[in-house]
Homo-oligomer: A and B are copies of this chain.
């Protein structure tokens, strides 16, 4: 698992996409302006996302991008994996200079942890994030209203 700013950009862009009305596609130009990510970089990221079926592009005027499947079916891990090459860290397969298994042990420990992180992110869907965020947003609004009333 690898969690870089590239992955963040992708997750942020996908979140942006999820927050829009699903009736009409969202242009990359919109997301670019909205999230402060350069258009051509977004194009690259969306090429990855599209090849994994996470988004669907619609060409021509009025075109843009849709989510490739329901937000509830897209995990954060899916998104990050789409744009970030999964690098295998442990090249040591017990072949050589694996001193008393120590090296392999550390590597397998890392692998375990890596898998845990992956599972964790695989359990969080776009939909959940959006739901939680909207709930929070409502709560904030509610709080604001109450504060105004109190004043």
Interface residues of A (CB under 8 A from B): 1-5, 8, 11-12, 15-16, 19, 33-36, 76, 87, 89, 91-92, 97, 99, 101-103, 105-110, 112-113, 116-117, 120-121, 124, 129-130, 132-133, 136-137
Contact = CB atoms under 8 A, between A and B. Distances in A.
Copies in the complex: 2
A63 to B, nearest CB: 20
B136 A108 contact: yes
Secondary structure at the A interface, as helix, strand, loop or mixed, is helix
Contacts of A137: 101, 105
A12 B106 contact: yes
A99 B19 CA distance: 13
A124 B133 CA distance: 26
